[in-house]
Structure 1
Amino acid sequence: MNDFQTVTRRKSRKKIRNKSFSSSLQHSYAEENFNTDDLIRLVLAAAVDFRKSPYKQVIFNGLLKSLNVLHSKAIAEVICYGLGSFSKNRSSKYQLATLLTIKNQYNCNVLVYDPIFTENEIEVLKTLELNVITINEEGKRTITNNRPTLVFMPHCPSQLLNNFLYCNWGPQLKNCIIVCNRWSAIVDQNPLGFVEDTTNYILRLYPYVVDIELKNEFEFIETFIETSIHIFPGLDETPLSFWGNREEPGYPKESNQFITSSSA
């Protein structure tokens, strides 16, 4: 476990940024300038760029470490929420390129959803043989296998991750590899009231998380800023009482960065 960076609490509580924070950093391009074929070519070109990037090896080394802890060589499935509009946003395009590279490496099923996907983007995703979830699950998808599941949520609202943990609350979470904003930033850099109200399940699981740091060597640094891999190797040691008090999360209406099924 010497290769892992275990999270530590910090006293600073500064509200974390999510995908909406970086609009000033991320380069955009107009979707209407591209038809489906053009957009596919753009995405595949981004995948080539990603495979040549040093960051590709960084993230795959992190995944290999995670799988070794789980005593597995393969990822059974990838669930991706909050990818964003890859026809308009450079970071989203390269995050999609990352998904395609993972799919190719592990020959695994990949599910994707974002309520802001356009019809053109959905067509592109299907052409690239990704499975598009058809409804806004708000992150509440139950994993159904005992093999490693990769949960890919780059720069997403913490409510999505919190909902996923709630839906899978139990020792089976040890089979998850979660790629998202560093939990230490989510928990320690937000006001305590916000953490308790919107990230209760993240907060409860926080003592058991192992953070595998991903050195951000990507050309467009905003694409993977504050991103880490998170695993939970110690969950078999938790008492049964730890998994009690499983109430469905509710969020303040002012959480406008989190798109609910009723508002989508």
Structure 2
Amino acid sequence: MIPSPSKTLNSNPNEAWTLVNRRRRRGKPITNAASRSKTLTPSPEHKTPSSWIPTDSSTDSERESKLLARMESAIRELGSSRFVHRFLSRYRDPQIQKELNKLLTPCLQIQIVAYGIGSIESYKTPRLPLALALLLRQELGVRAMRPIEVFDPVLSAVECAVLAALGCRVITVDECGRRETAMPTIYYMPHCEAMLYDNLLDANWKPVMLRRMVVIGNSFGVYERYVKEMRGACGSVALEVDGRHLLWIRRYVREVEMEGKENGRDFKEDEDEVELFKAFHDLSWHFFELDDDADMGEL
């Protein structure tokens, strides 16, 4: 049972966009221009959907039980945090509710798709974003009755079993983000690489499809500012290529920080929110507002 809820801090934008690869450790930042240029070079692995099997196909009931207990603990911890109070206050804000209601006008159901969660067995930090996705589904209530669809190429068979126990459905194809949005969908993508966001936009590069989407992920605005600052520096071309759809669509995006400040206070210095900072810093809601006749350009 997920409890009813009872910490984002501003970050260095240079560390906000991380690489998702098949053996990556969740949340490890790309720390300099040279490494960004190297790791963000487009590769077929991130361009084309492919079949997928867990990295570790062995099952173990004891590991599953221990991991489920850790997830339940993470849900309780997050559910009682000030961060979730601020997150849900933002979610209930009339501005967010208006955007969600527009999304749901032709349909009463909304799907949550979570990409890039990370290894929930190996590290605590990935368990917190998954816990937040579950709390968000609970908050959406009857509007989100479908299972949360989850994918990360690092997931093991044990992690897949625990996700199923939590009411999620593991996607069995590595979509590389290239999912066409057929129904209202919240794409939950904390700290994914720019290329994954860009693939998602490319697969939905029509106004009618973009309007069906909401992206909860790293700030598009921060990425745009970072690319402008990097122009002419090592790696800037790769950044613009990997994020070209993301950069172009910014003019049609209403971006809202994922959480508000509590009593006007910024919690980036609070020691008790360090773990939550790692999991949730620099995230925003992104709503797409464009007419059917919007010029989508040739990218």
Match of 1:142, SS state, is coil
CA drift of 1:144 comes to 0.8
2-side partners of 1:117 and 1:75: how far apart? 27
Cα distance in structure 1, aligned partners of 2:186 and 2:217: 11
Q: Which runs of 5+ in 1 are unaligned?
A: 1-11, 25-31, 247-264
What is the percentage of aligned positions where both structures have the same residue? 23
3-state DSSP class of the match of 1:97?
A: helix
The CA deviation string for residues 212-243 of structure 1, in whole angstroms up to 9 with x for no partner, is: 112485822111111111112x312x634x22
Within the candidate set 69, 76, 81, 1:41 is matched to 69
Secondary structure, in 3 states, of the residue corresponding to 2:119?
coil
Which residue number corresponds to residue 119 of structure 1?
157
Separation in 1, partners of 2:26, 2:179: 26
- The 8 Å contact of residues 150 and 176 in structure 1, kept in 2 or not, is answered as yes
Aligned to 2:18: 18
Deviation at 1:186, TM superposition (A): 1.5
Decide which moves more: 98-107 or 116-125. Answer: 98-107
Number of aligned positions between the proteins: 223
Greater alpha carbon shift after TM alignment, 183-192 vs 131-140: 183-192
Matches of 2:190 and 2:18, distance apart in 1: 8
TM-score of the pair, normalised by structure 2: 0.67
Q: Where in structure 2 are there 5+ consecutive unaligned residues?
A: 1-11, 20-24, 30-59, 232-236, 261-265
What SS does the corresponding residue of 2:172 show, helix, strand or coil?
coil
Distance in 1 between residues matched to 2:163 and 2:15, nearest whole Å: 33
- Is 101-110 or 14-23 further displaced after alignment? 14-23
Q: Tell me if structure 2 keeps the 8 A contact 1:70–1:175.
A: no
Distance in structure 1 (CA, Å) of the matches to 2:247 and 2:109: 26
Equivalent runs, 1:3-82 vs 2, <5 Å:
14=14, 16-18=16-18, 22-23=27-28, 35-64=63-92, 65-71=95-101, 76-82=110-116
TM-score for both structures, normalised by structure 1: 0.75
Note if contact 2:64-2:162 (Cα within 8 Å) is conserved in structure 1. yes
Matched residues in 2 for 1:126 and 1:21: separation? 21
Asked if the contact 1:141/1:164 (under 8 Å) is kept, the reply is yes
How far apart are 1:53 and its partner, in Å? 1.1
Tell me how far apart the structure 2 counterparts of residues 173 and 57 of structure 1 sit (CA, whole Å). Answer: 29
Q: Say if 1:93 and 1:243 are closer, same or farther in 2 by CA, change over 3 A.
A: same
Give, in angstroms, the shift of residue 21 of structure 1.
7.9
The correspondence for 1:156, drawn from 186, 192, 198, is: 192
User: Hey, what does 1:243 align to over in structure 2?
Assistant: 296
Shift of 1:104: 2.0
**Deviation of 1:78 (Å):** 0.4
- Structure 1 residues 239 and 13, CA, compared in 2 at 3 Å: closer, same or farther? farther
User: Cα RMSD (Å) of the superposition?
Assistant: 2.7
Task: Provide the C-alpha distance between the structure 1 equivalents of 2:26 and 2:116, rounded to a whole number of angstroms.
Answer: 14
Change (3 A) 1:117 1:55: same
Q: Structure 1 counterpart of 2:293, which letter?
A: P
Preserved contact between residue 16 and residue 191 of structure 2 (Cα < 8 Å): no
Distance 1:130 1:212, change over 3 A: same
